[in-house]
Amino acid sequence: MLDFAALSSPTPRTAVTRGPAIARAEQGRNGMLIGVPKEVKDHEFRVAVTPSGVQEYVDRGHTVLVQRQAGAGSGFVDDDYEAAGAALIDTAAEVFARAEMIVKVKEPVPAEFDLLQPGQILFTYLHLAADKPLTLALMRNHVQAVAYETVQLPNGTLPLLTPMSEVAGRMSVQVGAHYLEKENGGSGTLLGGIPGVPDAEVAIVGGGVVGTNAAEIALGMGANVVILDKSLERLRELDITLNGRVHTVASNTRSVAEMVRRADLVIGAVLLPGARAPKVVSEAMVASMRSGSVVVDVAIDQGGCIATAHPTTHSAPTYEQYGVIHYCVTNMPGAVPRTSTIGLSNATLPYGLDLADRGLEGAINANPALAKGVNVYDGRLTQKGVAEALSLEYTPLAVAMEARPVVRA
């Protein structure tokens, strides 16, 4: 167990130029204080760092503060974290007050806004394009916010979004099949049909990671699957990847309308990195679907790509509109936390270690992919797609970094 008398005290909220890093410098510590609070979003059982990840941080000279029971929902008990070298903390307030970097899974909820400290690094999923109150809170509190979902490699891939997109894509078909059952409000259609009875029609709007994984599961369950995407090159890749078993259709208003009208299950899987998702499926298209059909909008955490979709929770996951069951849970992977936690930690840990080893400025200067993850820096919004979606002022990261005042201990 660590001696907390040696750790930093809470940073005064009025001292914007004094962050946890200053406390560290004053105390002569070299390692960073990493905080892992328990997730509080509805039915969110994931945790940001596994015990193995804690050991990696500790082995590099960092201190990890883990809130008690933070990993219990994913099958990681407090003893596992303590054995890995973590200090167990009773409350989220203490974790936020002491840590220089907060590592989470989901975006802070309103109850956590005032726990955020000036100068503190926040490393988590944010999806700010659909959340103006959170964006303003991060700017107001001068949090250095790095979003998993906008970290982007030179080839355009999103390495920290990919594992949860894989989970959500696979889950979307599983969930859709469940709600197609009559007792759950659906039409009573079996995805794979049986001999003499047609397979269910599944329309997947978007051919990225979510769409590809959804297609694999839907095909495995015997459904008749169509993927719509604007990119012909991507459709060609999918045709090869899925061995010609999926129908590929170029996405336009008419083709989307036709495929949605015919579908028993529509999966919304459209992504614009860092920006609000476009409404590809209109209200009229949903109204044209058969009663008892199901839509699953996986893009809902970015505002959704289905016009009739609005966010739901695991406690109340569905609602009906035009006779169509809507499932729009914003943290779908939270339902399978063991798989999701391990997959997420595998992806995020190297970036978290880089932030801890180098500090924010050093890490983003050395890693352009990580620099793209910075959404808010020193009170300025540095993600253009978010600024456009929320009608807020955009400041390029380089400009924000140059404008940051010199901090003196």
Q: Which residues are catalytic?
A: 127, 301
Amino acid (1-letter code) at residue 118: P
Q: Residue 390 is encoded by which pair of tokens? A: 């929320």
> Is the four-CA dihedral 104, 106, 108, 111 of positive or negative sign?
negative
CA 346, chain centre distance (Å): 15
Buried b (16+ CB within 10 A) or exposed e, 121-150: bbbbbbbbbbbeebbbbbbebbbbbbbbbb
Q: How far apart are CA 248 and CA 239, in angstroms?
A: 7
Q: How far apart are CA 244 and CA 263, in angstroms?
A: 20
DSSP assignment letter at 106 = S
Q: Give the position of tokens 């974290």.
A: 81
Q: How far apart are CA 356 and CA 42, in angstroms?
A: 29
- Give DSSP secondary structure letters for 7-62: SPPPPPTT-TT--HHHHHHHHT--S-EEEEPPP-STT----SS-HHHHHHHHHTT-
Do the beta carbons of residue 122 and residue 100 sit within 8 Å? Answer: no
